[in-house]
Chains A and B, each alone.
Chain A
Amino acid sequence: MENIAGKKPALSWAKNVAMATMVLIWVIPTLGLLVSSFRDRDQISATGWWQAMLPVELTARARTGTEATPEGGLYRVEGVIFDDEEAQSYFSGTPGDISAFGIRGAEPTAYPAGTTADLGDGETLTVNADGSYVWITPEEPGNRGQRVYFAAESPPKLTLDNYRTVLSGDNMGRAFLNTLTVAIPATIIPILVAAFAAYSLAWMEFPIRGLLIAGIVGLLVVPIQLALVPVLNLHNEIGVGQSFVGIWLAHTGFGMPLAVYLLRNYMAGLPRDIIECARVDGATDFQIFTKIILPLSLPALASFAIFQFLWTWNDLLVAKVFLPSADEAKVMTVKIADDLLGSRGGDWGILAAAAFVSIAVPLGVFFSLQRFLVRGLLAGSVK
Chain B
Amino acid sequence: MNPLIQGLATIILGVGGCIGYFYASNLLLDKVLYPAKGPNIASNIRRANIIRPWLFIFPALLVLTVYLAYPVVGSAYRSLFNRSGDEFIALGNYVALLESPEFRRSFLNNALWAIFVPVMSVTAGLIAAQLSDTLKWGNIAKSLIFMPMAISFVGASLIWKFVYAVDSDIGLINAVLAGLFGAGPIDVIQIPFWNNFFLMFILVWIQTGFAMVILSAALRGIPEETIEAAILDGANPFQIFFRIKMPQIFSTIVVVWTTITVASLKIFDIVYAMTGGNFGTEILPSYMMSFMFRDDGRATSVALVIMIIVLPVMISNIRQAQKELR
Binding site for B on A (CB under 8 A): 1-2, 4-8, 11-12, 15-16, 18-19, 22-23, 26-30, 32-33, 36, 44-50, 177-178, 180-181, 184-185, 188-190, 192-194, 196-197, 199-201, 204-206, 209-210, 212-231, 233-234, 244-245, 248-250, 252-254, 256-257, 260, 284-286, 289, 310, 313-317, 320-321, 329, 333, 336-337, 341, 348, 351-352, 354-355, 358-359, 362-363, 365-367, 370, 373-374, 377-378, 381-383
Q: Are A366 and B273 in contact (CB under 8 A)?
A: no
User: Could you list some 26 contacts between A and B, CB below 8 A?
Assistant: A18-B127, A19-B128, A22-B127, A26-B148, A33-B158, A48-B170, A185-B7, A197-B56, A206-B53, A216-B64, A219-B64, A223-B266, A223-B307, A230-B78, A231-B71, A248-B14, A249-B67, A253-B67, A285-B49, A313-B152, A316-B153, A348-B165, A355-B158, A374-B213, A377-B213, A382-B255
Rank and list the top 6 A-B pairs by shortest CB-CB distance, nearest first. Answer: A253-B67, A230-B74, A314-B152, A197-B60, A366-B150, A200-B56
**Min CB distance, B266 to chain A, in Å?**
5
Q: Are B303 and A6 in contact (CB under 8 A)?
A: no
A213 to B325 alpha-carbon distance, docked (Å)? 9
Stretch at the interface among B88-96, B101-109, B314-322: B314-322
Task: Report if B256 contacts A (CB, 8 A).
Answer: yes
Q: Are A226 and B64 in contact (CB under 8 A)?
A: no
Q: Are A22 and B18 in contact (CB under 8 A)?
A: no
Q: Are A284 and B317 in contact (CB under 8 A)?
A: no
The SS class assigned to the A binding surface is: helix
Q: Are B141 and A19 in contact (CB under 8 A)?
A: yes
Q: Could you mark each residue 245-272 of chain B with 1 if its beta carbon is under 8 Å from any beta carbon of chain A, else 0?
A: 0000000000110010010011011001
Q: How many interface residues does B have (CB within 8 Å)?
A: 118
Binding site for A on B (CB under 8 A): 3-4, 6-7, 10-11, 14-15, 18-19, 22-23, 26, 30, 49-50, 52-54, 56-57, 59-61, 63-64, 66-72, 74-75, 78, 124, 127-128, 131-135, 138, 141, 143-155, 157-163, 165, 167-170, 172, 175, 205, 208, 210, 213-214, 217, 220, 224, 227-228, 231, 237, 240, 255-256, 259, 262, 265-266, 268-269, 272-273, 285, 288-289, 292, 296, 299-300, 302-304, 306-307, 310, 313-315, 317-318, 320-322, 325
> Which residues on the A side are within 8 Å of B314 (C-beta)?
218, 221-222
> Which residues on the B side are within 8 Å of A217 (C-beta)?
317-318, 320-321
